[in-house]
Structure 1
Amino acid sequence: MQKPFVSVKTITYNHEKFIAQCIEGILMQKTNFSFEYIIGEDCSTDNTMKIVQDYADRYPDIIRVISSENNVGWIENDHRTDMACQGKYVAFCEGDDFWTDPYKLQKQVDFLEKNTDYGLVHTNFSCVKDDKITKSIRGNEMLPTGNVLEELIKGNHIATATVCMRNDLLRKICIGDTIKKHNWRMGDYPLWIETSALVKVHYLKDDTITYRIHDDSATHALDWNGDFRFFEDRYQIKNYYIAKYNCEHLLPFISKVYHKELLKYAIFLKNEDLREACSIYFKKKSERSEFAYRLLSDFTIFDSIFCFIYSSRKKLKTIV
């Protein structure tokens, strides 16, 4: 049997409310090449597997299901799904997101075929929360394209479900090994950074997918303590790659952004150690502005202002 030209991969767990829409978005793709669809189903406790298997039975020439008798966790599920992809290119769509452009794959593959120095293409996207859709989050803004390593270390601007990349890069990087070594809670962000260190990355303004925000997701269901652990991971990742790729000149920028965000967690977690870390940083940086430092140091006043402005933690969520 001839290998598919493109592999699409989905990892899913307890997505019974969303997985059918995810699968339909892949099956509607219009391409002049063959593609396969690999679904890593990690022993969901709801009806996700039943829905996935029903689609696999109806589309046996396209869909392959990767599963096991026991739950293996997201890192292993992600890795085994990666290894099952046979195509020259791999595209991603997590089980609670969905594609909306039937020509998404065709556009991305066309670009990668014509531009061999590029290894990854991502696109604009929409968000949906409580059935309210925010269209084309990036608007007409043109995100960094080409050599984007430093921009990605500064912050993740790539939404996973928009990505199509070369499979040889995915296998070469084998990001699961790095994630397990450092015990990070996210795998897509490190993968994009590692990819951008090897090849150019391209951004398309086309809105091709919808990213779903819901209370059952791995990140959006977190309390402040869980959210803080993801925040800390994100900055461990940044610092790891700053050292790995000799980008020490980015440290002042990263430190500034880090402490601004840390202040948020110091207040909401009522953690005096975090407050002290912020106080030391802001005092050092505000030597020429005594008033600004006093305002930042007076947590009684700042708590009230901050909590009034950011009354809901969900307003502070990022894509990462």
Structure 2
Amino acid sequence: MHDDAHDTSDPVRLVENPLVTVLMITYNHAGYLAEAIEGVVGQECDFPFELIIGEDASTDATREIAFEYQRRYPEIIRVVHSARNVGMNANSFRIFSKARGEYVAYCEGDDFWCARDKLARQVALMKRDKRIGIVHTDWTRASLRGGLWKYDIHKSVHRGVSDRYLSGHLFGTWYYPKILRTCTILLRRQTMAEWYESGLMDSKYPFGDSVLSAWVTSRWDVGYIAEVTAVYRASANSALRSGARARVRLYTSALQFDTSARAFFAERGDYPSGYRWESAAGLLLWGGRARDLRAIKHALLDFAGHFTLASFAATGLRSIAMRLPRIKRHPGRGLSGTTGT
């Protein structure tokens, strides 16, 4: 926790015992933050909740927007901020450390929720089944077209995904990229605290979602709500869309995490090989696009060091099979929309 972090809130009007804390990290999201906040404060629940916004020294009007909404909703919103940028992982941890709810949910400042009953349904599911350690939902993407962000709820990400990858015991497929999207999850605050204390997460990783997915699915069942409740903004500034060299760095870090995870879960004997296969394949592909001979060599040596020819083929086929669409329908509410720039 950074000593220079400030918590701008109204202690007199702030809800006393929130059941849920919503955590929202934001940096240079001036064009999106209002929509993200509106999706949270508009939740219809029979329990109190709070929203903690972690504003990471943005260079645009993000902080001013956060303060404006805190003044508008003093019973719900707190803004944690500092004079200097601390980075995604430190920003996420410092707002988590201030959470007061029994449960925590996440929505980053460039995503938003599109279902007013998201929190209510997730909490109800967690309470019904004590085997569940995390609840996620279906989601959809907003893409920038003609200067506007557009989305269609009928094009949900899970519309062709087999149920076997969405709920229950998912440790064997925790790395499937369409599940446990950060803007869709809710889990117990104690579970997050144990994850941080486990030592599996390294602040140097340019991601946290994969680490959390591996850890939480190793201990708990996954609950699922088959309805789109969140919109993920496919931002050009994300790690997956910042060019070939950024992808090389991402997949290199993924291999480093996989090495640590294999050691961490060694006693279980059921840690899946698919994440390493996909990370090495990604490094090989994007190393080629970046014309990075070192990355290409790294990927090829990694394949050779961790797979026989037979296991390479079998793991690759399983990875491909996970992505084959199934004929499936999820209930939806017929929403489509255009959001501002």
Normalization by structure 2: what TM-score?
0.76
| CA distance in 2: counterparts of 1:7 and 1:279, whole angstroms | 44
1:159 to 165, 175, 181: 181
Map of 1:224 onto structure 2: 244
1:206 corresponds to which of 213, 227, 243 = 227
Q: Match of 1:240, SS?
A: helix
Q: Give 1:173's match in structure 2, choosing from 195, 200, 203.
A: 195
Q: CA deviation at 1:263?
A: 2.8
Shift of 1:187: 1.4
**Residues 184 and 213 of structure 1, relative CA distance in 2, 3 Å threshold:** same
1:116 to 2:119 alignment: no
Root-mean-square deviation (CA, aligned residues, Å) is: 2.6
Alignment counterpart, residue 151 of structure 2, candidates 133, 139, 156:
133
SS of 1:84 mapped into structure 2 = coil
What is the aligned counterpart of 2:118 among 98, 104, 109?
104
1:285 to 306, 309, 327: 309
Give, as a single letter, the amino acid of the residue that structure 1 aligns with 2:219. L
**Percent of pairs identical after alignment?**
28
1:193 and 2:214 matched = yes
Query: Aligned partner of 2:32: which letter?
Result: F
Taking structure 1 as reference, are residues 255 and 59 closer, same or farther at Cα in structure 2, changes over 3 Å only? closer
> Mean Cα displacement is larger for which, 187-196 or 266-275?
266-275
Is the CA contact (8 Å cut-off) linking 1:7 and 1:35 kept in structure 2?
yes
2: CA distance between counterparts of 1:241 and 1:118?
Answer: 22
1:82-123, CA deviations, whole angstroms, 9 ceiling, x for partnerless residues?
011101110100000000000000110000011112111001
Q: Is contact 2:182-2:209 (8 Å) kept?
A: yes
User: Equivalent of 2:47, from 33, 42, 46?
Assistant: 33
Greater helix content: 1
Determine which of 162, 168, 173 is the counterpart of 1:146: 168
Distance 1:252 1:11 in 2: 31
CA–CA distance in 2 between the matches of 1:241 and 1:128? 32
TM-score (norm 1): 0.80
Specify the alignment match of 1:305 in structure 2. none
Partners of 2:22 and 2:52 lie apart in 1 by 6
Deviation (angstroms), 1:223: 2.1
C-alpha deviations, 1:114-143, integer Å up to 9, x for none? 111211100110101112325311115323
List alignment gaps of at least 5 residues for structure 1: 290-320
Distance in 2, Cα, partners of 1:192 & 1:279: 26
Greater length-normalized contact order (CA 8 Å, ≥ 6 residues apart): 2
